[in-house]
Amino acid sequence: MASQFEQLHFLLIPLFSQSHIIPLTDFAKLLARQGPIVSIITTPLNAKRYKKSLSDYALRANLKIQLLPIPFPGQECGLPEGCENMDSLPSPGLARPFFDACTLLQEPIQNVAQKLEPKPSCIISSGAFTWTQNLAQNLGIPRYIFHTGSCFTLSCFDMLSKSKVHESVASDLDTFYLPDMPHKIECTRSQLPDFMTKNSLELKAIVDHMKEVDSLARGTLVNSFEELEPWYVAQHKKANKNFWCIGPVALANEEMEDKFRRGNETSIDKQKFCLKWLDSKEPGSVIYACFGSMCHLSCMQLAEIGLGLESSGRPFIWIIRESDYSPDVDRWLKDNKFEERVKGLVIRGWAPQVLILSHPSVGGFLTHCGWNSIMEGICSGVPMITWPMFSEQFFNEMVVVNISSSGVKIGVSTAMKFAEELNELVKREKIKAAIDQLMDDGEEGQEMRKRARKLGEMATKSIEDGGSSHMNITLLIRDVMQQND
């Protein structure tokens, strides 16, 4: 089968954010396994982060994958030097000039694409890059949208847009139910993304434009698998001709080296120390706590997290992202001799999350509910404590708690603003209570862990030969081939 696909050339254009680059790069690996050539558009600084690990992977697996770095016109749009990734923006107000700079990439990408051999057969891009539809039309090839969220979230957005039920409640904290959903879905306006609650004509125009451009795409790809959310997959397949679940893409990384280097480089000493520490713990005993790359946590909130983890009495690995590791946080850890007295490991900066989650000693995942993290937890068969913070993360929490029953809520009720601090302090007692509930040895805890393990097994089967996602990737490739005949 691979031989008939070898002259196809897929051009992937991710939004320049860790939450998009990482899954689209993983998808490139799954795609290339079936034969096509895959080129990923990126910027020089992003390429520096991913180039070596991707090149080594492609060489070892004999796959045709390459990065195509395009100079990023950030400074032309008012961005500080070195801001080529949304995770590196120093303030939320720079999001607009960041997207303006991305739009300016259309012409240089088109110039590069026209010189590629063989010529690109299609474009797969993040939905936020609406200009890639014009790019695809100029090149005379189809475009497919890559969604980094769940089918359930897409269904929720569609239902809210149609019913406007959230506009009928008196306050942001009043609950309402989404109509005509396969599950009973309770929500508040305070949990919804900004674009659904802000009465902004500019924001409405942007969302309407995205919907209009989405309708022109040849198809839609979702980083999920059919067995996780079959009810919502069915809804979208009924409404969209070419709708395919192609995940969990994180499972493209099977070797320890690939899990370790996925997303960023971590020092080899840290890796060895982390693995040695995990090897010394009982199976299923460790709590892993990590809150993504976009959520800012105050020193006060970080202190509560640390004390909550400590009071649980369980071994833990706690990731504090580099931008949150302020002098105040450093002082708090040292003054309290936190690391000397606890049963845990504190990692500052980037951590090999997939590698850690897949270790047998990890028994629970305290997560901010970014969809990549949810998928990685599911792939590892690990139950989760859900702490959603912004965007669609409250819907992601519902997938874990309401739909798959493979986790427990920390109990937050209000979303934070994008890239800003939490406005709802979660105390150590609440954190300890959630850990106790997740790790409970009673019947409820055992059943939850059993469901989590079963989901992990189904996720793995979905990308194997004959699995649902593997077959969907084949259907995508065949569709591209037909469009290029």
Domain architecture of the chain: domains with CATH: 2-251+461-483 (3.40.50.2000), 263-459 (3.40.50.2000)
Name the pLDDT band for 148 (thresholds 50, 70, 90).
very high
Cα separation of the two ends of the chain? 17
Tally Cβ neighbours within 10 Å of residue 173.
Answer: 12
Task: Pull the structure tokens for residue 60.
Answer: 């070892």
Calculate mean pLDDT across residues 43-72: 92
pLDDT of amino acid 224: 98
Calculate mean pLDDT across residues 380-408: 95
Specify the range with the lowest mean pLDDT, choosing from 16-25, 296-305, 421-430, 439-448.
421-430
Task: Pull the structure tokens for residue 72.
Answer: 């990023």
CB 451 within 8 A of CB 228: no
**CA-based angle 187:155:419, to the nearest 5?**
60
**Does residue 267 register a pLDDT over 70?**
no
Specify the range with the lowest mean pLDDT, choosing from 71-75, 94-98, 174-178, 421-425.
421-425
Burial class (CB in 10 A: 0-12, 13-18, 19+), 158: middle
**Does residue 163 register a pLDDT over 50?**
yes
Which amino acid, one-letter code, is at 290? C
pLDDT of amino acid 419: 47
**Does residue 89 register a pLDDT over 60?**
yes
**Does residue 202 register a pLDDT over 80?**
no
Calculate mean pLDDT across residues 138-161: 95
**Does residue 257 register a pLDDT over 70?**
yes
Place of tokens 């839609």: 220
131-139 and 106-113 helices, crossing angle to 10°: 30
**Does residue 369 register a pLDDT over 90?**
yes
pLDDT of amino acid 472: 98
| Residue 418, CA distances (Å) to 60, 74, 426 in order | 39, 20, 18
**Does residue 469 register a pLDDT over 90?**
yes
Per-residue pLDDT of 313-360, as tens digits, reads 999 999 998 888 889 999 999 999 999 999 999 998 888 899 999 999
Percent of the chain with pLDDT over 70: 94
pLDDT of amino acid 294: 72
Burial class (CB in 10 A: 0-12, 13-18, 19+), 74: buried
Q: Which range scores top for mean pLDDT: 113-122, 184-193, 202-211?
A: 113-122
**Does residue 375 register a pLDDT over 60?**
yes
Calculate mean pLDDT across residues 421-436: 87
**Does residue 444 register a pLDDT over 50?**
yes
**Does residue 103 register a pLDDT over 70?**
yes
Per-residue pLDDT of 338-347, as tens digits, reads 999 999 999 9
**Does residue 401 register a pLDDT over 50?**
yes
Which amino acid, one-letter code, is at 196? M
Name the pLDDT band for 423 (thresholds 50, 70, 90).
low
Task: Pull the structure tokens for residue 114.
Answer: 């026209």
pLDDT of amino acid 3: 63
pTM to 2 decimals? 0.94
